[in-house]
Amino acid sequence: MTISSISTNQQSLSMRIIIARQNEELSKLTKETASGIKQDVFAENAGAATKSLQMRSFMASTSSYKASNELLEGKLDTTYEALSTLASEAQSFQNLSLAGGITSMNREEYRQEAEDTLARMVTALNTTYSGEFLFSGLSTDQKAVELDASGTSITYLGDTTGTPSARIDDDVTLNYGIRADDPAFTAIFGALTTVLTTNLDALSDTDFEVLRENVTTAMNDGITGLTSQAAGLGNNQAILESKINDQNSRLNIYNNAIAGIETANPEETALRLNQLLNQLEVSYQVTSRLNGMSLLNYL
Amino acid sequence: MSLSSALNIARSGLSVAALQTDLVSRNMANSETEGVTRKWASLSTNSTGGVTVSAVERSVDTLLQRLDRDNTSKLAQQSTVSDGLKAYTDFLGQPNDETSPAAKLSNLQNAFVLLSTLPSEESTQIQVVTSAKEMASQLNELSGTLSDINREVERNIRYDVSSANETLEGIAILNQKILRSTDGSIAQAEYKDKMDQMIDEVSGFMDVQTVTSQDGTVNLYTGAGTELVIGNQAKTISYDPVQGKLTAGSVDITPGPTGRGISQGSLSGLFELRDQHLPQMSAQLDAVAAGLISTMESANPFGTGGTGLFTDAGNTYDALSVKGLAARITVNAEVDNTIGGNPSLLQNGGNAATPSGDSSFITAMLDQFSQTVTVDTAGLGDVLTLSEMAPALVSLHQTTRASAESATQSTQTAGETIAASRNNFEGVSIDDELQKLLVVEQSYAANARVMTSINEMLDTLIQSF
């Protein structure tokens, strides 16, 4: 008669395999509980891991567009400030030109005001952001304007081929630059240069009135031009801000989707860990009891 | 006459009990020895009425042996593949790892985004160059890892072939020993144990089938029927690394879909890595390198001879020499500030007259990331943009590894059941042996008692005279 028996070696081998498996699973769950991230995303769900990898790539590029856009936002803010300064300087000279008592005022004072305005505007036009000149067109390493030695006229030193642009998202470009050779500035500088190069004291009241008329007309054109430039810039700022908001929302979406794939569910992991610890305890007890069960103990 | 015959019978009982004790003690002593089967004495009555050992039997089941060996071959093949792949994919990392080439490519793209806003900023230009160098060196390293694994595979094929030859030789020698040993003897049973262990060993290298002759010798064939050992003649397995061919004697047994090739075992796994996975993965890494070199070069050929940000060891992209490109890709020395290059070439495209705020070359390079590549993607995907290439590569290679591992695991789980059945059938239960020992001890005592009684009876007879 054949008696089928369990090999003593196989019995202990089976228990060893069971305990080794449980320990391996325990190590994985411990890691997942501690890090909160699945140990091998590709093994758990290869398709989702591929998705997660693609989304990480989108997230990284969106996040860097956002960072770059925030930098650009700073640049536009600085340009806007400079443009406001320029407009307010021009407006304040225009106010002086339009004042009722101008004909009888000290003409030297008027000339001096023109000179100061010109100097302040040159400073504002040479504003830099992170080492780049803002009003020089594409030649951002070049000063935009320079006052000549006599202090009466200015020369545009920047580039005349285009304005800077930036990539604010995949396939979306924003042209944002304002050049100091824009007709608005040319009109204002022309008016100020006229005041500075004319011998005002030699003018009769009538001639002075004609000059004043010409200056205010030119200044008016310039100020209108600056206002329209400021509106364009404000529009760009709004586009950029909405792009940044949009990118923020996209980052949240990507982040949640990635977390959904890569994160180990803490409750589930904890529950599995607990179950496994109980199983392991039982396995140890059974192994110990089995080892104690031998005919040898009764002989 | 009947008393002396009784004495002989009792003596036969004693010697059989002694042999049974020998077997029980062998079984118990070797209860932990792998490949040693449980043995027992098959008893019969001889012509004088005594007991005799007709044969020493081994507890083996040929069906379980065959199933277990098939499984060993299959498992060896799958684990060889998954271990080989894992050695490489560990360098690819999980999606959240910064070491992944997907992360490196994405860093490069991000550096370009920042540079498009600050085109003349030197630190940002240097950041692009640094990210590009990291990308190139990552590809170099991954390609190096694949070459290392390839060398390791070649070495292991040679080791396995030499071990398999030794074992086949051992089987041929054992066949001779079995033939010369006495049928049913303990020595023959031990030879047969050794034979089974050696066949188990060969089944780790390749799939085999056995035919056992009446005389107990074993002829060994590959799974597809090529002779490996016939009687005392073993065929020599040889490997030709140049042709990539494996032969047994003069028969081609190279693993593959056609012919009489082996299909399981570690040798089959090594050939699968050598001929299938490693060349494909290398070609895909080369495709990523080709994508980088060709797109950057077409967007901004600032360097000597029309080279771009990435070069093929200093030269322009050549569609005819893509093989090995991942090992050769470098960042153009002309923009590398650490070796005297000028990173502003990225912005001015090699023309010093380009205004410093002109970001057209940078955006042209940035645009390449979202455009479909024109290089051969070597199976990474039909329509891929440059920025999709690295994630596609990582996920494809990791998925191949994960599925190889999962196949290994399921074979292992299924195999454990068969291996456990075989071990239970062939192995020793100490409790069972102890019970047998008690019976043998009793039988020995009883036979000895019979002898004492006969002795007393004979004494009585002698004293009556």
What pLDDT score does A247 carry? 93
Q: Check CB contact under 8 Å for A7 and B427.
A: yes
**Confidence check: pLDDT of B321 > 60:** yes
Residues 6+ apart with CB under 8 A from A127: A78, A79, A81, A82, A133, A134, A135
Q: How many CB pairs under 8 A join A and B?
A: 181
Of the pLDDT bands very low, low, confident and very high (cuts 50, 70, 90), residue A162 is confident
What pLDDT score does A44 carry? 83
Q: Check CB contact under 8 Å for B357 and A130.
A: no
What pLDDT score does B233 carry? 96
What pLDDT score does A102 carry? 67
Question: Chain B closest CA to A6's CA: distance in Å?
Answer: 5
Task: Give CA–CA dist A249/A253, Å, rounded.
Answer: 6
B chain contacts of residue A170, beta-carbon cutoff 8 Å = 370
Decide: B328 and B321 in contact? Cβ < 8 Å.
Answer: no
Task: Give CA–CA dist B267/B153, Å, rounded.
Answer: 10
What pLDDT score does B381 carry? 86
Of A53, A64, A130, the CB nearest to B95: A53
Cβ atoms < 10 Å from Cβ of A94: 20
Q: Check CB contact under 8 Å for B394 and A53.
A: yes
Question: Chain A closest CA to B362's CA: distance in Å?
Answer: 10
Average pLDDT over residues B53-81: 95
In the stretch 177-236 of chain A, residues with CB closer than 8 A to chain B read 177
Question: Chain B closest CA to A278's CA: distance in Å?
Answer: 22
What pLDDT score does B1 carry? 56
Of the pLDDT bands very low, low, confident and very high (cuts 50, 70, 90), residue A69 is very high
What pLDDT score does B96 carry? 78
Residue pointed to by tokens 């322009």: B316
Q: Check CB contact under 8 Å for B114 and A170.
A: no
Question: Chain A closest CA to B6's CA: distance in Å?
Answer: 28
Strand segments, DSSP code E, in B138-197 are none
What pLDDT score does A242 carry? 94
B chain contacts of residue A45, beta-carbon cutoff 8 Å = none
Q: Check CB contact under 8 Å for B429 and A40.
A: no
What pLDDT score does A51 carry? 86
Task: Give CA–CA dist A54/A46, Å, rounded.
Answer: 13
A chain contacts of residue B355, beta-carbon cutoff 8 Å = 137-140, 159, 161-162
Average pLDDT over residues B317-346: 95
Angle at B197 between CA B191 and CA B199, to 5 degrees: 105
Decide: B418 and B22 in contact? Cβ < 8 Å.
Answer: no
**Confidence check: pLDDT of B344 > 90:** yes
C-alpha distances in Å from residue B445, one per residue of A280, B74, B452, B458: 47, 51, 10, 20
C-alpha distances in Å from residue B254, one per residue of A25, B223, B272: 38, 12, 10
Task: Give CA–CA dist A74/A89, Å, rounded.
Answer: 23
Residues 6+ apart with CB under 8 A from B63: none
B chain contacts of residue A50, beta-carbon cutoff 8 Å = 391-392, 395, 399
Q: Which of B96, B97, B416, B440 to mutate to test the interface with A (most CBs of A within 10 A)?
A: B96
Q: Residue B273 carries which DSSP code?
A: I
Average pLDDT over residues A177-188: 92
What pLDDT score does B22 carry? 95
Task: For A73, name the nearest residue in chain B, comparing CA atoms only.
Answer: B117
Q: Residue A102 carries which DSSP code?
A: G
Is the CB of A242 inside 8 Å of chain B's CB atoms? no
The predicted-structure confidence for A270-280, as pLDDT tens digits, reads as follows 999 999 999 99
Q: Check CB contact under 8 Å for B357 and A68.
A: no
B chain contacts of residue A37, beta-carbon cutoff 8 Å = 94, 96
Partners of B218 in the beta sheet? B212
Of the pLDDT bands very low, low, confident and very high (cuts 50, 70, 90), residue A265 is confident
Q: With H, G, I as helix, E, B as strand and everything else as coil, classify residue B74.
A: helix
What pLDDT score does A209 carry? 86
The fraction of chain B above a pLDDT of 90, given in percent, is 83
Of the pLDDT bands very low, low, confident and very high (cuts 50, 70, 90), residue A108 is confident
What backbone phi and psi angles, to 5 degrees, belong to A176? -125, -10
**Confidence check: pLDDT of A55 > 60:** yes
The fraction of chain A above a pLDDT of 70, given in percent, is 97
Task: Give CA–CA dist B125/B114, Å, rounded.
Answer: 9
Average pLDDT over residues B360-368: 92
What pLDDT score does A165 carry? 87
**Confidence check: pLDDT of B310 > 90:** yes
Task: Give CA–CA dist B316/B323, Å, rounded.
Answer: 14
DSSP B331-351: E-TTT-GGGT--TTHHHHTT-
The fraction of chain A above a pLDDT of 90, given in percent, is 48
Residue that wins the pLDDT comparison between A85 and B1: A85
**Confidence check: pLDDT of B346 > 90:** yes
**Confidence check: pLDDT of A208 > 90:** no
The predicted-structure confidence for A117-146, as pLDDT tens digits, reads as follows 999 999 999 999 988 899 999 998 889 999
Q: Check CB contact under 8 Å for B114 and A52.
A: no
Query: Across all residues in chain B, what is the average pLDDT?
Result: 93
What pLDDT score does A297 carry? 82
Task: Give CA–CA dist B214/A117, Å, rounded.
Answer: 118
**Confidence check: pLDDT of A103 > 70:** no
Paired tokens of B269: 């796994």
Of the pLDDT bands very low, low, confident and very high (cuts 50, 70, 90), residue A9 is confident
Question: Chain A closest CA to B113's CA: distance in Å?
Answer: 6
Average pLDDT over residues B345-365: 90
Cβ atoms < 10 Å from Cβ of B318: 12
What pLDDT score does B260 carry? 86
**Confidence check: pLDDT of A46 > 90:** no
Average pLDDT over residues B219-245: 95
The predicted-structure confidence for B157-177, as pLDDT tens digits, reads as follows 999 999 999 999 999 999 999
C-alpha distances in Å from residue B98, one per residue of A64, A206, B95, B103, B394: 16, 77, 8, 6, 13
**Confidence check: pLDDT of A38 > 90:** no
DSSP B239-255: EETTTTEEEETTEE---
Task: For A3, name the nearest residue in chain B, comparing CA atoms only.
Answer: B432
Question: Chain B closest CA to A152's CA: distance in Å?
Answer: 28
Rounded to two decimals, the pTM is 0.84
* Nearest to B221, CA basis, from B208, B212, B235: B208
Of the pLDDT bands very low, low, confident and very high (cuts 50, 70, 90), residue A1 is low
Q: Residue B354 carries which DSSP code?
A: S
Cβ atoms < 10 Å from Cβ of B178: 20
Decide: B198 and B178 in contact? Cβ < 8 Å.
Answer: no
Paired tokens of A206: 């009538």
Angle at B230 between CA B224 and CA B231, to 5 degrees: 155
Query: Across all residues in chain A, what is the average pLDDT?
Result: 89
Task: For A139, name the nearest residue in chain B, comparing CA atoms only.
Answer: B355
Average pLDDT over residues B288-293: 96
Q: Check CB contact under 8 Å for A138 and B355.
A: yes
The interface predicted TM-score (ipTM) is 0.79
Task: Give CA–CA dist B20/B38, Å, rounded.
Answer: 12
Cβ atoms < 10 Å from Cβ of B251: 17
Question: Chain A closest CA to B200's CA: distance in Å?
Answer: 17
